[in-house]
Amino acid sequence: MRAQDRYVEGKFDDAKGHAREAMAQDPNKAWRIIGASECSLKTSAAALEAANHLEASGRQFLKYVCSRNNVTLP
């Protein structure tokens, strides 16, 4: 998935855009990439929005990524 490649490269805005394009193919993975990108960009409100679209394990993943970027999710 192109979004994942952009995320790994640190191109978080590009990763979010590609994830939104791939939403129909794999919405869970797309929301995880969007959320992780938002955590890396330190936009907690947008990260929380992404978390709200994920199952429990996806939310835990985002909490971890956000905590590594000094962003707190409830």
What separation, in Å, do the N-terminal and C-terminal C-alpha atoms of the chain show?
A: 29
Task: Residue 38: give the domain boundaries.
Answer: 2-68
Ranges under pLDDT 70 in the chain: none
Total domains in the chain come to 1
Inside any domain, residue 6: yes
Q: Is 11 part of a structural domain of the chain?
A: yes
**DSSP 8-state symbol, 54:** S
Q: Is residue 14 part of a domain?
A: yes
Give me the pLDDT at residue 30, please.
97
Domain assignment present for residue 73? The answer is: no
pTM of this structure: 0.94
Using one digit for the tens of pLDDT, what is the confidence trace for 40-55? Answer: 999 999 999 999 999 9
74 assigned to some structural domain: no
| DSSP string of 21-61, one letter each residue | HTTTT-HHHHHHHHHHHHHHTT-HHHHHHHHTTS-HHHHHH
Q: Is 17 inside any structural domain?
A: yes
